[in-house]
């Protein structure tokens, strides 16, 4: 989905933040709607069906996590959290509740715009794309084949499943719990050491320099994000 014409709903109780976002995002071709409370945001989302939602966690009436949970009962629109809450636990709870990404205030508009583009591209995908390409990394879902700069890389089944899930959600943060639940099952969702071991193995196989990863980026204390290796 291109930026031009995409409908963005801002749910934030701070007028200066809403003004800044409206001016900047309109200049980049987005259509804007706004709400200053959780209830108003839920109403606007139901009426407008936005393509992406920017949500502050600290709202005057409803906790942002509750807003995410209610939105996820019916909406698949990407949700980017914008909040002063810096604690890892808040990020993890928001992502586990269904948010797509997390930007901490004060924030860079360039970073927010980049995260929005990733979220909109991901939402526009049909889900049946057989080959995922991120820079020099290629994941062929139909043939379970992984290549780096054209060279095939042999992965174990577990390594492949981790990489596949990261690739299907490229640009998004996946929490430790989300990955563990998907790959190993709900009873393993606290076993973060499993992930550390396998991520280390994956990096040794796909990264030019595993100590300075280009593809699998660690979000400290939260999870991992697959990027295009720029």
User: Residue 216: what are its φ and ψ, rounded to 5°?
Assistant: -95, 105
Task: Kindly state the DSSP code that residue 57 receives in the 8-state scheme.
Answer: S
Query: How far apart (Å, rounded) are the C-alpha atoms in residues 133 and 135?
Result: 6
Give the whole-number percent of the chain exceeding pLDDT 90. 64
**Dihedral angle, C-alpha 18, 100, 220, 82, nearest 10 °:** 10
Predicted TM-score of the model (pTM): 0.78
**Residue 128 pLDDT greater than 60, yes or no:** no
Instruction: Give the tens place of pLDDT for each residue, 132-165.
Output: 888 899 999 888 899 999 999 999 999 999 999 9
pLDDT the model gives residue 4? 63
- pLDDT band of 176, cuts 50, 70, 90: very high
**Residue 125 pLDDT greater than 70, yes or no:** no
b (16+ CB within 10 A) / e for 151-186: eebebeeebbbbbbbbbbbbbbbbbbbbbbeebeee
CB of 41 closer than 8 Å to CB of 9: yes
Length of the chain (residues): 230
Q: What average pLDDT does the chain have?
A: 89
Residue 123's Cβ-count burial label (10 Å; 0-12, 13-18, 19+) is middle
**Residue 230 pLDDT greater than 60, yes or no:** no
For the chain, domains (ranges, CATH) are 7-124 (3.40.50.2300), 131-226 (1.10.10.10)
Sheet hosting strand 173-175, strand order edge to edge: 173-175, 223-226, 216-219
Instruction: Give the tens place of pLDDT for each residue, 100-122.
Output: 999 888 888 998 998 999 888 87
Q: What is the CA radius of gyration of the chain?
A: 18
pLDDT the model gives residue 129? 65
CA-nearest of 12, 6, 14 to 31 is: 6
**Residue 131 pLDDT greater than 60, yes or no:** yes
């Amino acid at each position: 989905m291109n930026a031009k014409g995409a409908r963005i709903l801002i749910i934030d109780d701070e007028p200066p933040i809403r003004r800044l976002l409206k001016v900047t995002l309109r200049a980049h071709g987005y259509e804007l709607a706004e709400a200053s409370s959780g209830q108003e945001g839920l109403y606007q989302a139901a009426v407008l069906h936005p393509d992406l939602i920017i949500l502050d966690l600290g709202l005057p009436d409803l906790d942002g996590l509750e807003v995410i949970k209610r939105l996820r009962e019916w909406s698949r629109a990407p949700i980017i959290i914008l909040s002063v809450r810096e604690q890892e636990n808040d990020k993890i709870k928001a992502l586990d509740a269904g948010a797509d990404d997390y930007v901490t205030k004060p924030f860079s508009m360039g970073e927010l715009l980049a995260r929005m583009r990733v979220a909109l591209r991901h939402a526009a995908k049909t889900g049946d794309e057989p080959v995922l390409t991120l820079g020099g990394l290629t994941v062929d879902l139909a043939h379970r084949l992984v290549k780096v700069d054209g060279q095939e890389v042999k992965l174990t089944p577990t390594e492949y499943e981790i990489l596949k899930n990261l690739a299907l959600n490229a640009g998004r943060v996946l929490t430790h719990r989300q990955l563990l639940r998907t790959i190993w099952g709900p009873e393993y969702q606290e076993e973060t050491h499993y992930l550390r071991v396998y991520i280390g193995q994956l990096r040794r196989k796909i990264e030019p320099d595993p100590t300075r990863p280009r593809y699998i980026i660690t979000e400290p204390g939260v999870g991992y994000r697959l990027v295009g290796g720029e």
